[in-house]
Amino acid sequence: MLSLKPILEPLTVCQVADYSQVNWDSDFVFVGQTDEEKSLVCYSKDVPENTTQVDEGWSGFRIEGVLDFSLVGILAKISSLLAEEEISIFALSTYNTDYVLTKTVDFDKALEVLEAAGYAVVR
């Protein structure tokens, strides 16, 4: 089964007017841009002043290792297990791996559910 590594800093999900105030030197910065919005997920301590919407109180974990693009159902399995416990997620994917965020109030329970299902939590 896969290993999950918690991110130790509180996270914030937000929309920004532009990316000019993003702390690009931070260890965790995730941006997404479409024709309708500019989104940012970052450490809560790094939220820029030019946000247009902010949703605080997130925690997350990384699926350890580099995931091959041919792997199927990794996020589906995790999200299904958490959905059964009524824990919603915010998923992020990079070239190497996936990240799963939950509201901080649900985070410990989420890790317990995943550990019970056989995932190893690297602390």
| Tens of pLDDT, residues 59-103 | 999 998 655 545 556 888 999 999 999 999 999 998 888 899 999
List the chain domain ranges. Answer: 3-121
**pLDDT (0 to 100) of residue 74:** 82
Enter the pTM of the model: 0.91
- Per-residue pLDDT for 1 more than 60? yes
Q: How far is it, in rounded angstroms, from Cα 58 to Cα 101?
A: 6
Give yes or no for a contact between 123 and 8, defined as CB atoms under 8 angstroms apart.
no
Q: What is the CATH code of the structural domain delimited by 3-121?
A: 3.30.2130.10
